[in-house]
């Protein structure tokens, strides 16, 4: 039985991004969604992973808005104006590794810590966007050291949270969700516009997966297709 009840209320974290805005657009027209609230670094209840203190502040400012039966975190980074994913070990440097750990692992982990207090204890799902390249077992091409490592760390944090929630929040599921290649700023330098899917299509695929999540799925690493991915 799905943990997201009907009707439900949703919160999108990172709603100014390509995928986040697609989620919000779809949920705004979903007849089962009573309300969808989106937050980002320039919104009300703002959140900014460059400022870890903003994560707790944002969650605390939303306490009276909860509970939510669905929380989706879409914040993440692959590259910046200063650097691109590493092609070889020689390209690895501390600044890039630390920044991607901050955005892709530490920020989402603190988001789970503080925003999980907004989950409806009677039934809810918190999905965090991860990436298939964070799978250690599936890594056959190498490269992209910082991005792979940060997403692998994120996956471990989600899995560990799920184990704790099985005792403390048994009707709340936390999952890692792989969106696939989506036409976005993140994928554009890697031919994302040619090989990716439209954001609304990707978000719809992921919503179908989320709406099928049961408490037994908590701690899973799921693809947009519903496939269980190897850690």
For position 203, which CATH number holds?
3.40.50.720
Would you say residue 35 lies in a domain?
Answer: yes
Length of the chain: 231
Would you say residue 122 lies in a domain?
Answer: yes
CA atoms within 13 A on the CB side of 42: 2
Beta-carbon contacts of 140 under 8 Å, excluding residues fewer than 6 positions away, are none
Percent of residues, the chain, with pLDDT higher than 90: 91
Global pTM? 0.94
Whether 28 shows a pLDDT value over 60: the answer reads yes
Domain count, the chain: 1
DSSP states of 92-160 as a string?
Answer: --HHHHHHHHIIIIIHHHHHHHHHGGGB-TTSEEEEEE--GGG-STT--S---HHHHHHHHHHHHHHHH
Q: Which domain holds residue 69?
A: 8-223
DSSP states of 61-96 as a string?
Answer: HTGGG--BSEEEE----S--SS----SSGGG--HHH
Would you say residue 1 lies in a domain?
Answer: no
Res. 194 pLDDT band, cuts 50 70 90? low
Tell me the pLDDT tens digit for each residue of 128-155: 999 999 999 999 999 999 999 999 999 9
Asked whether the CA dihedral 113, 226, 18, 30 is positive or negative, the reply is negative
């Amino acid at each position: 039985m799905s943990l997201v009840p009907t009707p439900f209320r949703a919160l999108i974290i990172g709603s100014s991004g390509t995928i986040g805005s697609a989620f919000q657009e779809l949920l705004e027209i979903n007849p089962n969604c009573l309300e969808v609230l989106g937050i980002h670094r320039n919104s009300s209840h703002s959140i900014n992973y460059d400022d870890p203190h903003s994560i707790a502040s944002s969650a605390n400012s939303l306490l009276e808005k909860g509970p939510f039966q669905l929380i989706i975190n879409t914040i993440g980074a692959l590259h910046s104006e200063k650097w691109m994913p590493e092609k070889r070990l020689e390209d690895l440097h501390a600044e890039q590794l630390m920044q991607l750990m901050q955005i892709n692992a530490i920020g989402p982990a603190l988001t789970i810590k503080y925003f999980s207090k907004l989950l409806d204890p009677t039934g809810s799902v918190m999905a965090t966007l991860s990436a298939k390249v964070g799978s250690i077992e599936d890594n056959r091409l190498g490269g992209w050291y910082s991005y792979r490592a940060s997403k692998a760390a994120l996956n471990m944090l989600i899995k560990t949270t799920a184990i704790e929630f099985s005792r403390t929040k048994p009707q709340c599921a936390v999952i890692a969700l792989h969106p696939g290649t989506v036409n976005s700023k993140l994928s554009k330098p890697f031919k994302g516009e040619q090989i990716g899917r439209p954001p609304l299509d990707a978000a719809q695929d992921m919503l179908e997966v989320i709406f099928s999540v049961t408490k037994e799925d908590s701690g899973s690493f799921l693809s947009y297709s519903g496939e269980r991915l190897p850690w």
